[in-house]
Amino acid sequence: MREAIAPWSPPQGNTVELVAMGTSWDAVRVSARFGRAVIDRLGDQCGAVIVDGYGSVLYWLIKPGSADAWTLPSYIVGILGSSAYVAVPPVRRTSGPGLHWDVPLTPLCYLTDTVLLHAALAAEIALVNGPRP
């Protein structure tokens, strides 16, 4: 289930904003190639997703601290918490090249449920790499 907007608002003009993690949200980072399949798995339950078209990376926004106990392989899934920053595109930038919203941010599409995201990531990892022992 997607969650409503927290007390944070994305850049409104044309400027990218560097946002510190851990206050309004944390982020989950994966490669764009891997992440597109995860977006498909989540379907309508996917919250907003930032894509860095130059770095070929996707970022999901999640509740702060909600992925701290995850044990997914760090070479596939990066958890960005309170010591990290993410570049956030303006709210209206929904296409590339470069930094943009792959799944646009709206008042009803913001944070992705971490239980659902973890399950989708784990399923995709198992599909690509085989089940974990």
The reply to whether 10 falls in a domain is no
Token pair belonging to 31: 């490669």
Identify the domain containing residue 50 by its residue range: 17-129
CB 87 within 8 A of CB 16: yes
Map residue 13 onto helix, strand or coil: coil
The pTM of this model reads 0.90
CA distance linking residue 40 with residue 119, whole number of Å: 13
Query: How does pLDDT run along the chain (133 residues), one tens digit per residue?
Result: 444 445 678 888 889 999 999 989 999 999 998 999 999 999 999 999 999 989 999 999 999 999 999 999 999 999 999 889 999 999 999 998 899 999 998 877 889 999 999 999 999 999 988 665 6
CB 116 within 8 A of CB 64: no
The reply to whether 11 falls in a domain is no
The reply to whether 43 falls in a domain is yes
The reply to whether 12 falls in a domain is no
The reply to whether 115 falls in a domain is yes
CB 48 within 8 A of CB 103: yes
The reply to whether 89 falls in a domain is yes
The reply to whether 6 falls in a domain is no
Q: How many domains does the chain have?
A: 1
The reply to whether 70 falls in a domain is yes
